[in-house]
Structure 1
Amino acid sequence: MAGIQTSTVQMDDGVHLHVKLMGNDEKRPKPLLIAVHAAPGLVTLAEPEAAFAFLSDNFRVLVFDGRGSGESDITGSYTHDRWIRDIDNLRRWAGAEKFVLAGHSYGGTICLDYAVRHGDRLSGLILRNTWTHGIQLMMTALAAVLTDPRLKVDVARQLRVWTGALRDDRDYEEAMPEILPIYSPPGDSSSQMLQFAAYHSATQNFAFNHNMPRFDVRHQLKDIKVPTLVIVGRHDLITPVVFSEEIARSIPDSSLAIFEHSGHNPAGDESQKFQKTVLEFLTTSVL
């Protein structure tokens, strides 16, 4: 593996983001991949780092804590417009005209918005366990956590999570352990989700009370022309297979990979197959 560079990068509005760039090699220029983490206000760059570090022999892999997450500034705005500008700032900071964009779960929605607006800047798109319609996701996720027999939840607290009405960081911290099993395939309750956690309830609240009610790219998917890999776990109850089937059916140059033994995170549940699938896509469609 080539060098790993950890940096604090200033955005155009003065906010500082915590960034890690893997595979940087001044002697051998490599294409850039930017990976966007899931769950703003909860998950950190450690999640996409774990998923995509294996590519650093062939790519420069850039991961970052989104604003309001991890070690980045807890400063808004947290809109998708702002996320998109941040991604473009990081693209320019890394010196790339075109790049591969990858997103997991909520990060995938930001990637879809980016691809709809700036597809000409992409050489590839990787979407993992994501969705196209915010309200549909909110209702699906809430229904899943309230009806799954494995879970014993505080109903009012889960309603606050999925509608963006958390009281404070402690409220968020108490809500997430209640639902961990729902992210894993049957018979496996060892979700890795919270090993990446850093609770910032204000970020989560904005994502689900402002961004998600406005997010809907269903009718714009046909306009995404970049080669796209769509990944989903067969047992994902938060973003079920039908969500990814819709994406793959609607984006012209796309392929769908269903991981039969995975839940919400195929990169962790079936890591070897995930790495093989991603590398084959990048080798045949991007490199």
Structure 2
Amino acid sequence: MVQGVRPRTGGAAAHARVGPSAEYLFLSLQPLERDFTIVYLDTRATGRSQVPAAEAVTMEDFVDDLDNLRRHLQLDQPWFIGHSMGGTQILEYSLRHPQHVRGLLLLAAAITNNAADATRQA
């Protein structure tokens, strides 16, 4: 999530649904940190986050987690950055909560006609 332009303001990066920590995005996104505060998010079952039962991980869970993080950080309309399935998650978030999205940066996002289908396929 990225809030505003200057001074350094908030933002979040979501990444591929399964696998490594969001730390791999740090090198690519580090130049943005001159102007923005970026929050690197390990979504459920990735990186250092806890791995819940497979049936407990739904697109709704990811969207709820993003909204809970946005509210916790007290950000009204941040930018969202998402890679791979993280891009699908932020796209779905923007469809459900357009009033809380300033913009999206999609990096090789997994786009389908129904973003929720992408979660089941991953």
State the TM-score bracket (shorter-chain normalisation).
0.7 to 0.9
| Contact 1:31 1:59 (C-alpha < 8 Å) held by counterparts | yes
Measured in 2, the distance between the counterparts of 1:94 and 1:42 equals: 25
Moved segments of 4+, more than 3 Å: none
Q: CA deviation at 1:134?
A: 7.2
2:120 corresponding residue in structure 1 = 211
- TM-score for both structures, normalised by structure 2: 0.79
Residue by residue, what CA displacement relative to the aligned partner does 1:124-179 show, whole Å, maximum 9, x if unpaired? 110111232279xxxxxxxxxxxxxxxxxxxxxxxxxxxxxxxxxxxxxxxxxxxx
Kindly tell me the number of residue pairs found equivalent between the two proteins: 113
2:80 to 101, 114, 118: 101
Measured in 2, the distance between the counterparts of 1:86 and 1:72 equals: 12
Measured in 1, the distance between the counterparts of 2:80 and 2:48 equals: 21
1:37 to 15, 23, 27: 15
Q: CA deviation at 1:34?
A: 1.0
Residue by residue, what CA displacement relative to the aligned partner does 1:12-56 show, whole Å, maximum 9, x if unpaired? xxxxxxxxxxxxxxxx85332211112x22121112222212211
| Contact 1:109 1:132 (C-alpha < 8 Å) held by counterparts | yes
**Partner of 1:120: helix, strand, or coil?**
helix
1:47 to 2:32 alignment: no
Relative contact order: is structure 1 or structure 2 higher (C-alpha 8 Å, sep ≥ 6)?
2
Q: What's the C-alpha RMSD, in Å, of the aligned pairs?
A: 2.5
2:62 to 72, 75, 83: 83
Say which one has the larger Rg: 1
Structure 1: segments with no counterpart, 5+ residues = 1-27, 136-206, 214-287
Measured in 1, the distance between the counterparts of 2:113 and 2:21 equals: 21
**Partner of 1:60: helix, strand, or coil?**
coil
Measured in 1, the distance between the counterparts of 2:90 and 2:98 equals: 10
